[in-house]
């Protein structure tokens, strides 16, 4: 690993940090150290980094704003890549919006609304990056990324680059082609529509008020833990089973929203995983439904 770190620093791929604790980079405030954290500032640096990792056979993963992610207490072996400020930009051209992968998805939804563009209102409560949203086909309020994405710029694991159109992204529920083929979104182009600013603002205000009332936004959490099963909602099943308030260590099934797990301070990844398994076992036993986690599990087990 030291040889790889030396080569990464010589290649000037941006910030390189060995044995970097990841808890401070996640919204759950949980996670052990990465062998190496890489923060490239542009596409050339990222491409060089991926080529070096590929050459050394070093495993890697991507960390955006740390939502929707549970990092192991043991940390992450190999490299964790976090895109730097050079990927945090946005441009408008008519109804077309181009955003860098590290740009806040929530911030983007607010900006396009102020520009009088509709189609991204659903993103107002998704606390991740543009890149993460494309990777997961993030969605809410009966809409998702697949409905508005025109294309995505990708850098693949060998450092090569390509642009994929919507139809090539393999979108499905919380899924994209990037779950099968290793690559990193560096830029996304969205095709929106002209709308009424007042109507857009009103819709987003309604969504925001609903989130404020129904989600534990003041506590350390990672968003929805489970995918909604076909024709139902995970939160409804969990609440109906009487699991709100169920605890494991400092982790708790939120008493505000049953599909959230909150960290009361000092919760471990193992606490959260144990709680996830207990919820899954109860729901399958009572309702015959297998809840599938939506959060990404990252690191050594």
**What value does the mean pLDDT take over residues 92-107?**
96
**Strand (E) or helix (H) holding 28:** none
C-alpha–C-alpha distance, residues 280 and 49, integer Å = 38
> If you classify domain 217-298 with CATH, what class do you get?
alpha beta
User: CB of 123 within 8 A of CB of 140?
Assistant: yes
> Which range is least confidently modeled, 137-141, 156-160, 267-271, 283-287?
137-141
Residues catalogued as catalytic = 174, 224, 294
| CATH 3.30.43.10 domain position(s) in the chain | 2-82
Average pLDDT over residues 231-239: 97
Is the CB of residue 251 less than 8 Å from the CB of residue 259? no
User: What is the percent of the chain with per-residue pLDDT over 90, rounded to a whole number?
Assistant: 87
pTM: 0.91
pLDDT attached to residue 1? 84
142 backbone φψ class: left, alpha, beta (φ>0; ψ -120 to 50): left
Which long-range contacts link 278-281 to residues 24+ away (Cβ below 8 Å)? 278/246, 278/248, 279/225, 279/226, 279/238, 279/243, 279/246, 279/253
Q: Does domain 2-82 correspond to CATH entry 3.30.43.10?
A: yes
Q: Is the pLDDT of residue 208 over 90?
A: no
Tens of pLDDT, residue by residue over 49-68, are: 999 999 999 999 999 999 88
Tens-digit pLDDT profile for residues 251-277: 999 999 999 999 999 999 999 999 999
CA distance 210 to 222: 18
Mean pLDDT of the chain: 94
Location of structure tokens 């520009």:
115
Percent of the chain at pLDDT above 70? 100
What's the mean pLDDT in 157-184?
95
Rounded CA separation 87/184 (Å): 12
CATH 3.90.78.10 location in the chain: 217-298
Question: Within the chain, how many helices (H) and strands (E) appear?
Answer: 7, 18
Q: Are 46 and 85 in contact (CB under 8 A)?
A: no
Split at pLDDT 50, 70, 90, the class of 21 is very high
Helix axis angle, 105-114 relative to 197-214, nearest 10°?
150
At which residue do the structure tokens 């949980």 appear? Answer: 30
Select the CATH number that applies to the domain covering 87-199 from these four: 1.10.3720.10, 3.30.465.10, 3.90.79.10, 3.40.1410.10. 3.30.465.10
Name the token pair of 199. 């109507």
In this predicted model, which residue has the larger pLDDT, 142 or 7?
Answer: 7
Question: What pLDDT sits at residue 301?
Answer: 76
pLDDT for res 155: 98
DSSP single-letter state for residue 227:
P
Q: What is the pLDDT of residue 139?
A: 86
How far is the C-alpha of 139 from the C-alpha of 130, rounded, in Å? 12
Domain with CATH 3.30.465.10 in the chain: 87-199
What pLDDT band is residue 236 in, cutting at 50, 70 and 90?
A: very high
Q: Is the pLDDT of residue 130 over 90?
A: yes
Q: Taking Cα atoms as reference points, which of 211, 194, 197 lies closest to residue 113? A: 197
Is the predicted pLDDT of residue 125 greater than 90, yes or no? no
Q: If pLDDT is split at 50, 70 and 90, which confidence band does 297 have?
A: very high
When pLDDT is cut at 50, 70 and 90, the band that residue 285 belongs to is very high
């Amino acid at each position: 690993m030291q040889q790889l770190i030396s080569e990464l620093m010589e290649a000037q791929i941006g910030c390189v940090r060995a044995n970097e604790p990841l808890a401070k980079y996640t919204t759950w405030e949980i996670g052990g150290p990465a062998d190496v954290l890489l923060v490239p500032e542009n596409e050339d640096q990222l491409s060089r980094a991926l080529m070096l990792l590929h050459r050394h056979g070093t495993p890697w993963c991507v960390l955006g704003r740390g939502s929707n992610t549970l990092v192991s207490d043991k940390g992450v072996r190999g490299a964790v890549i976090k895109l730097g400020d050079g990927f945090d930009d946005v441009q408008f051209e008519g109804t077309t919006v181009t955003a860098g992968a590290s740009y806040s998805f929530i911030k983007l939804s607010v900006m396009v609304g102020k520009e009088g563009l509709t189609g991204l209102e659903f993103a107002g409560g998704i606390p991740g990056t543009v890149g993460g949203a494309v990777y997961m086909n993030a969605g809410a309020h009966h809409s998702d990324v697949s409905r508005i994405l025109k294309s995505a710029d990708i850098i693949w694991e060998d450092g090569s680059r390509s642009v994929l159109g919507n139809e090539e992204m393999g979108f499905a529920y919380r899924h994209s082609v990037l779950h099968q083929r290793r690559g990193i979104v560096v830029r996304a182009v969205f095709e929106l529509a002209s709308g009424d600013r007042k109507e857009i603002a009103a819709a987003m205000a309604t969504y925001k008020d609903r989130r404020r009332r129904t989600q534990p936004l003041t506590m350390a959490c990672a968003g929805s833990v489970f995918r909604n099963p076909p024709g139902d909602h995970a939160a409804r099943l969990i609440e109906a089973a009487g699991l709100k308030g169920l605890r494991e260590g400092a982790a708790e099934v939120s008493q505000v929203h049953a599909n959230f797990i909150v960290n009361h301070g000092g919760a471990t990844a193992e606490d959260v995983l144990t709680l996830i398994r207990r919820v899954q076992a109860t729901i399958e036993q009572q309702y015959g439904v297998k809840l599938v986690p939506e959060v990404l599990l990252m690191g050594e087990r």
